[in-house]
A and B are shown apart, each in its own frame.
Chain A
Amino acid sequence: MAVEIYSLQDKKEIDDNAIIVEHLSKRFRIPHERKTTVYQHIAGLFHGGSYSYEEFAALQDISFTVKHGETFGIIGPNGSGKSTLLKILAGVLYPDSGRVQVNGKIAPFLELGVGFQPDLTAKENIYLYGAIMGLTRKEIARKYEEILEFAELKRFESMKLKNFSSGMAVRLAFSTAIQTDPDILLVDEVLAVGDEAFQRKCTGKIDEIRRDGKTILFVSHALESVRELCKQSILLKDGKMVSSGATPNVIENYLKLIV
């Protein structure tokens, strides 16, 4: 039987590694001539042109481990593969080779408010989004008041989401998503949400989660917050891991890279 490259397990007391990544590679296929219809595929057969594509190596031979309770930083210039890496860890993208093991319940904050329905009320959206983030109906019902309170949207509970401002919608999303009680949190620069006051509240909440001993994987361009939050980091460039270890060193390497 083929060994699964990606495996997700429950958190066990004995293992102290939350995430193990070994020799991970991911290539994207970029067809020379992208065929997305049956017609183009059939027409292609008659032209005798074989399926040709370029391969783009989004990640090459990445290895690192993250311990439980650690806040781990991933930095790098645009297009270096940070988001691809997070998506692989989240199980959205499937890696080509290597091994990825995630021990614990994972909550990807790649984008807030995934699956929000503008035609439903705030209340209905909390239940929907909560379910998408892996909460059961009972859990949402128990945390419902807390979610609305944190979002400061109690008054708008039965208003349709399409009448919300974008800031309000994101507040609702963050407050719901944060209730998932994960072992591992993947954060992709989504914390720049809402106004100054709400941002501070979010950072506070993330900090609280961190002190609770949860694992956080943090992708950011804000080097100062990475330095402040993460003890260990890796630096990606063009899909390769060019530096890893203690955050101050990694950041120093990054700064050398961009000047």
Chain B
Amino acid sequence: MWLIKYRDLIWNLTLTDLKIKYQNSVLGFAWSLLNPLLMMLVLYAVFINIFRFNQENFALYLLVGLIVWRFFAIGTSTAMGSIVGRPGLVTKIYIPRQILVLSTTLSCFISSILEFFVLIPLIIIFGVKISPGILFFPIVHGIYFFIVYGVSLILASLFVYYRDLNQIWDVVIQLGFFLSPIVYPFSVIPARYISYYILNPMTVLVETYRNFLIYGSLPGLRSVLYLILVGVILILVGTGIFHRLERRFAEMI
């Protein structure tokens, strides 16, 4: 099994990714935390003054939404380039190529966990009691990891053949951002669209995180099962596509 045989390499590549990401900037790791905070300030100012949503703890609502969304947006866009961006590791030596996608997704996963850690003091500052529901974080975040990894496998292998996929994906990400309840409350969606709207796994994810982080309720069983189903399907489809396309990677890069 490649996961076990190459575990040292996977871990090494993940750490290398993190080191390079954070050591090149002056504020280093602080940026990855400052960035969502500043984004939240901007959005908060806009949405509080213009749209006037009536949402309990809107600042936290925004922040949780942003941090959840960032893992998907940054994870998939970065991992898409993980094969094309390292031609040497594809054409000069054989390692199972999923490792490149996996290690990139893992490094984004770790960044995301760190962002959530910074969120916890903020939750307390805003006067929200941490509920035992927070114990679900590892489970939900684990499922989320598989969703991002599955999408990344598809994107990374297709990107080898279609080099403008990143342009298209940027637009998809932007669209998804507004099709998920990140900067606006769930309640603004007209009732007749709700049944379609909640099919979006990102909607289910974002709402699940908010429920146990801010609103003190446990994640719904149906939501969790739905997310697991999405994760399993994406991993299967992703692995399938990846293996089909992998054989000509070294010729196409």
Contacting B at CB under 8 A, from A82-121, are 87, 90-94, 108, 110-111, 114-115, 117, 119-120
Say yes or no: is B56 at the interface (Cβ < 8 Å to chain A).
no
Chain B nearest CB: distance from A176 CB in Å?
Answer: 13
Chain A nearest CB: distance from B248 CB in Å?
Answer: 7
By size class, the interface of chain B is: 20 to 34
A92-B250, A120-B16, A136-B8 known; A38 vs B162 contact (CB < 8 Å):
yes
Chain A-chain B contacts (Cβ-Cβ < 8 Å), number: 73
Say yes or no: is A28 at the interface (Cβ < 8 Å to chain B).
yes
A91 to B94, CA, bound (A): 6
Say yes or no: is B90 at the interface (Cβ < 8 Å to chain A).
yes
Say yes or no: is B95 at the interface (Cβ < 8 Å to chain A).
yes
Per-residue CB proximity of B86-100 to A under 8 Å, as 1/0? 101111111100000
B90, A92: Cβ atoms closer than 8 Å: yes
Say yes or no: is B13 at the interface (Cβ < 8 Å to chain A).
yes
B92, A114: Cβ atoms closer than 8 Å: yes
Say yes or no: is A46 at the interface (Cβ < 8 Å to chain B).
no
Task: Tell me which of A115, A124, A134 has the highest count of chain B C-beta atoms within 10 A of its own C-beta.
Answer: A115
Binds B, one of A64-72, A73-81, A125-133, A247-255: A125-133
Closest to B95 in A: A132
State the interface size on chain A (CB cutoff 8 A).
Answer: 31
Chain A nearest CB: distance from B22 CB in Å?
Answer: 11
B93, A92: Cβ atoms closer than 8 Å: yes
A38, B165: Cβ atoms closer than 8 Å: yes
Say yes or no: is B119 at the interface (Cβ < 8 Å to chain A).
no
A132, B9: Cβ atoms closer than 8 Å: yes
CB-CB < 8 A to B91: which residues of A? 87, 92
Which B residues lie at the A interface, using CB under 8 A?
A: 8-9, 12-13, 16, 19-20, 23-24, 86, 88-95, 161-165, 168, 247-248, 250-251
- Known contacts A111-B88, A120-B20; 18 additional CB pairs below 8 A are A37-B163, A90-B93, A90-B94, A92-B91, A92-B93, A108-B92, A108-B94, A110-B92, A110-B93, A114-B88, A115-B86, A115-B89, A117-B20, A119-B23, A120-B16, A131-B13, A132-B95, A133-B93
Which A residues lie at the B interface, using CB under 8 A?
A: 28-29, 36-39, 41, 87, 90-94, 108, 110-111, 114-115, 117, 119-120, 124, 127-128, 131-137
